[in-house]
Amino acid sequence: MQIFDISRRLQNGMAVWPGDTAFHFEVSSFNEGEGTVNVGSLQLSTHTGTHVDAPYHFNDEGKRIIELDLDLYIGPVRVIDMEGKESIEAKDLQDINLDGIERILFRTVSWKNPTEFPERIPHLNPDIAPFLASKGIRLIGVDLPSVDPIESKTLEAHHSLHDYGIHILESVQLDNIKPGDYELIALPLPLVEGDGSPVRAILRLP
């Protein structure tokens, strides 16, 4: 079975949201009897690299990571090409058949340099939420650090998607993925109070 890793690599010096916790990994070595063991430690934001947003991230009354249904993050998914778009709106999906689809990933290929945080991204227009909900979509993913504009303070797309019961997966890596149908696996960590969680996201051909 062919597997495609669509997770961004976690490494020191990687680009993170401006002002957020920088990613840091280090290894300490300990003498254990006659041998040595290496033990790594991590410092990172819950929104580092490829990650899911819990509703609590932008809504104080929203669910935490531990409360989310895991079946949201496992199952058939359709990768949809949106390369060249400045924003993604409901009208962009009018002619795309979404019958029977519950998960979609938008492939914009607009984050050209993964070592630098983008200044502008093709964000989602809030009008996309009611349209996708009418089609039965439960999860959307983007190859971007947010579904809203980088400078947004109101997070209108986040709130609109939440209002229509659509969950969010951000910062997937889709540069080498062809549009089409796959199986998605992108499970969050069991963070009891988590507002988000890094994931190891993969696609498998059905």
pLDDT at residue 93, as a whole number = 96
Which residues belong to the active site? 57
Structure confidence by residue, pLDDT tens digits, 163-188: 999 999 999 999 999 999 999 999 99
Structure confidence by residue, pLDDT tens digits, 37-82: 999 999 999 999 999 999 999 999 999 999 999 999 999 999 999 9
Core vs surface per residue 121-137: b (16+ CB within 10 A) or e = bbbbbbebbebbbeeeb
What's the whole-number average pLDDT of the chain? 96
Domain that holds residue 126: 3-204
What are the helix and strand counts (H, E) for the chain?
2, 13
Give dist(CA 145, CA 27) in Å, integer: 28
Whether pLDDT at 34 is above 80? no
Q: What is the mean pLDDT of residues 134-163?
A: 97
DSSP-based three-state secondary structure for 120: coil
Domains: count for the chain: 1
Q: Where are the beta strands (DSSP E) in 59-194?
A: 74-81, 87-88, 103-107, 123-124, 139-142, 167-170, 180-185
Give the pLDDT band (50/70/90) at residue 17.
Answer: very high
Give dist(CA 203, CA 206) in Å, integer: 9
CATH code of 179's domain: 3.50.30.50
Whether pLDDT at 198 is above 90? yes
pLDDT at residue 96, as a whole number = 94
Please say whether the beta carbons of 50 and 150 come within 8 A: no
For the chain, the maximum distance between any two Cα atoms, rounded to a whole number of angstroms, is 66
